């Protein structure tokens, strides 16, 4: 099917839930992808922080092939060796004692909310159920997680929204202190706001959250769906802060693109789930968790979190140079590891288009931020090429 016909079909038959760019990507290798007309791009979207090992990493392809030919799916009513192995790896490398597997970030957060509410009822009283989340945050599109996503634009038209959610400003400990009351079960927060515009909070923010939660006897849930798996230069973004959460949610990079979600918790918190508390047909099936084991082991063996820290510095430095060169078009460059944002003054959609036309795929975040989240295996050369393209794209879109 030619590209024009394919796009017509897609526009006619797929529900209009997002604005698509007018290309179809059909093949990938490392940081490169090719569209249906054979044009090559440098992928600095990483499938929105998903393909941490790059496209078609040989070990991921090998595990997928082998597991597909062995056993794709069995129900969670049976033990699943790959699931147990991935859970053990995640616990060995984090604060957590137990894991629940699902299929997406939203589901991982739904699980976290259910877990926190059940724990709070058992530990604080039957009216404890409120989840406090932060303005500008993003936690998913299911009804509960979109309600936890404190951004009006995502709520509009979907009312009535589920009860039991409150919002406070991000990076504002005083506001949180005022909002916590006898009905609060947990605080749900991203260590760095991704979709909200790559907002890095003050160094004292996470320790402050931990302290407020401890004082109030409530749980701290960290949504590391975008920041986890080495992206910020540590395996988990909470490691930058010196404190750990009670619950952490993962998805995106955990199986490099094979759908998976995970909710990690301490033994104390996890113990409130008993047979029948929760479930998922696909969650943690042999295919997804076999790939998860390969991805996680590769991440550790190849020290990709360290690499993200190192290459993140190279990227941020190059973006600072771009900012100095385009003082009118670029207001700020910021980020941590390979989760980086550039605040631009031309409409960010125009910058993304200009980049794409020149062979670079990039993302937007927040109101006018160009977001870059390349695979953690990105090279100096690829960063140089990407920044060269951003430079010319900014010239082309200058007002």
Ligand X SMILES: Cc1ncc(COP(=O)(O)O)c(C=O)c1O
Least separation, in Å, of the C-beta of 373 and ligand X?
10
104 vs 294, beta carbon nearer ligand X: 104
Which residue's CB atom is positioned nearest to ligand X?
Answer: 105
Task: Dig out the tokens for 71 from the structure.
Answer: 């056993």
Catalytic residue selected from 101, 138, 273, 296: 138
Task: Choose one: 98-106, 235-243, 319-327, 370-378; the region binding ligand X (CB under 6 A).
Answer: 98-106
Task: Dig out the tokens for 207 from the structure.
Answer: 């320790």
102 vs 397, beta carbon nearer ligand X: 102
Question: Which one among 44, 119, 138, 205 touches ligand X, defined by CB under 6 A?
Answer: 138
Question: Which one among 67, 104, 111, 397 touches ligand X, defined by CB under 6 A?
Answer: 104
| Region at 258 (left for phi over 0; alpha for psi -120 to 50; beta for the rest) | beta
Q: Does 106 bind ligand X (CB under 6 A)?
A: yes
Point out which residues pair with 371 in neighbouring strands: 341, 363
Nearest to 52 by CA among 352, 302, 315: 302
96 vs 251, beta carbon nearer ligand X: 251
How many residues lie near ligand X (CB under 6 A)? 15
Residue 232 and residue 308 in contact, taking contact as beta carbons nearer than 8 Å? yes
96 vs 329, beta carbon nearer ligand X: 96
For 275, counting Cβ atoms within 10 Å of its Cβ (0-12 exposed, 13-18 middle, 19+ buried), the class is exposed
> Can you tell me the distance from the alpha carbon of 334 to that of 365, in angstroms, rounded to the nearest whole number?
12
90 vs 189, beta carbon nearer ligand X: 189
294 in helix, strand or coil? helix
> Can you tell me the distance from the alpha carbon of 177 to that of 209, in angstroms, rounded to the nearest whole number?
9
Question: Which one among 90, 243, 251, 295 touches ligand X, defined by CB under 6 A?
Answer: 251
Catalytic residue selected from 223, 246, 273, 296: 223
Task: Dig out the tokens for 274 from the structure.
Answer: 């008993």
Task: Dig out the tokens for 109 from the structure.
Answer: 């957060």
- Within residues 149-178, the interface with ligand X by CB under 6 A covers none
Q: Does 225 bind ligand X (CB under 6 A)?
A: yes
Q: Which residue has the tokens 């931990």?
A: 210
Least separation, in Å, of the C-beta of 139 and ligand X?
5
Task: Choose one: 85-93, 197-205, 222-230, 281-289; the region binding ligand X (CB under 6 A).
Answer: 222-230
Asked about 252 being catalytic, the answer comes back as yes
Phi and psi at 262, nearest 5°, equal -145, 140
Q: Which residue has the tokens 């941020």?
A: 316
Least separation, in Å, of the C-beta of 315 and ligand X?
19
Point out which residues pair with 100 in neighbouring strands: 263
Please provide the size of the chain in residues.
399
Q: Which residues, 6+ apart, have CB-to-CB distance to 26 below 8 Å?
A: 34, 35, 36
Least separation, in Å, of the C-beta of 109 and ligand X?
6
Question: Which one among 63, 102, 147, 226 touches ligand X, defined by CB under 6 A?
Answer: 226
Task: Dig out the tokens for 389 from the structure.
Answer: 């393209």
Nearest to 145 by CA among 161, 160, 129, 159: 161
108 vs 319, beta carbon nearer ligand X: 108
Q: Does 364 bind ligand X (CB under 6 A)?
A: no
Least separation, in Å, of the C-beta of 51 and ligand X?
14
191 vs 346, beta carbon nearer ligand X: 191
Task: Choose one: 118-126, 188-196, 301-309, 353-361; the region binding ligand X (CB under 6 A).
Answer: 188-196
Q: Which residue has the tokens 């629940």?
A: 100
Q: Find out whether the peptide bond into 160 is cis, omega within 30 degrees of 0.
A: yes
Task: Choose one: 113-121, 164-172, 190-198, 277-285; the region binding ligand X (CB under 6 A).
Answer: 190-198
Asked about 138 being catalytic, the answer comes back as yes
Q: Does 245 bind ligand X (CB under 6 A)?
A: no
For 29, counting Cβ atoms within 10 Å of its Cβ (0-12 exposed, 13-18 middle, 19+ buried), the class is middle
Asked about 223 being catalytic, the answer comes back as yes
Catalytic residue selected from 43, 101, 130, 252: 252
Q: Which residues, 6+ apart, have CB-to-CB distance to 5 below 8 Å?
A: none
Q: Which residue has the tokens 């390979």?
A: 338
213 vs 225, beta carbon nearer ligand X: 225
- Within residues 44-83, the interface with ligand X by CB under 6 A covers 48
The residues annotated as belonging to the active site are 138, 223, 252
Q: Where on the chain is the footprint of ligand X (CB under 6 A)?
A: 48, 104-106, 109, 138-140, 190, 194-195, 223, 225-226, 251
């Amino acid at each position: 099917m030619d590209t024009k016909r394919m796009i017509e079909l897609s526009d006619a038959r797929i529900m209009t839930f997002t604005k698509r760019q007018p290309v179809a990507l059909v093949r990938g290798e490392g940081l490169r992808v090719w569209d249906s007309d054979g044009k090559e791009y440098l992928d600095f979207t990483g499938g929105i922080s998903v393909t941490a090992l790059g496209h078609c990493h040989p070990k991921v392809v090998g595990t997928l092939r082998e597991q597909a030919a062995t056993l794709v799916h069995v129900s969670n009513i049976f033990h699943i060796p790959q699931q147990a192995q991935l859970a053990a790896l995640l616990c060995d490398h984090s604060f957590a004692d137990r894991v629940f597997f699902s299929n997406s970030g939203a589901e991982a957060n739904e699980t976290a909310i259910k877990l926190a509410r059940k724990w709070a009822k058992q530990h604080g009283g039957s009216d404890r159920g409120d989840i406090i989340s932060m303005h500008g945050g993003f936690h998913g599109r299911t009804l509960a997680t979109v309600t936890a996503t404190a951004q009006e634009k995502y709520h509009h038209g979907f009312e009535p929204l589920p009860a039991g959610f409150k919002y406070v400003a991000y990076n504002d400990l005083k506001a949180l202190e005022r909002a916590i009351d006898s009905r609060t079960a947990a605080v749900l927060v991203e260590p760095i706001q991704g979709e909200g515009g790559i907002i890095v909070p003050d160094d004292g923010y996470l320790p402050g959250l931990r302290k407020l939660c401890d004082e109030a006897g409530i749980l701290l849930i960290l949504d590391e769906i975008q920041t986890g798996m080495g992206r910020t230069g540590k395996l988990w973004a909470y490691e930058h802060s010196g404190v750990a959460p009670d619950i952490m949610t993962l998805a995106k990079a955990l199986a490099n693109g094979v759908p998976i979600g995970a909710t990690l918790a301490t033994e104390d918190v996890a113990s409130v789930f008993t047979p029948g508390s929760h479930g998922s047909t696909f969650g943690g099936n042999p295919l997804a968790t076999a790939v998860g084991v390969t991805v996680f082991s590769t991440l550790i063996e190849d020290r990709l979190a360290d690499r993200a820290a190192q290459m993140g510095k190279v990227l941020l430095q190059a973006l600072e140079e771009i900012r100095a060169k385009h003082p009118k078009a670029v207001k700020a460059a910021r980020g941590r590891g390979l989760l980086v944002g550039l605040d631009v003054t031309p409409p960010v959609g125009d910058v993304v288009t200009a980049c794409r036309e020149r062979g670079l795929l990039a993302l937007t975040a927040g109101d006018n931020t160009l977001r870059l989240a390349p695979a953690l295996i990105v090279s100096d050369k690829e960063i140089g090429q990407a920044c060269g393209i951003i430079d010319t794209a900014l010239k082309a879109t200058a007002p």
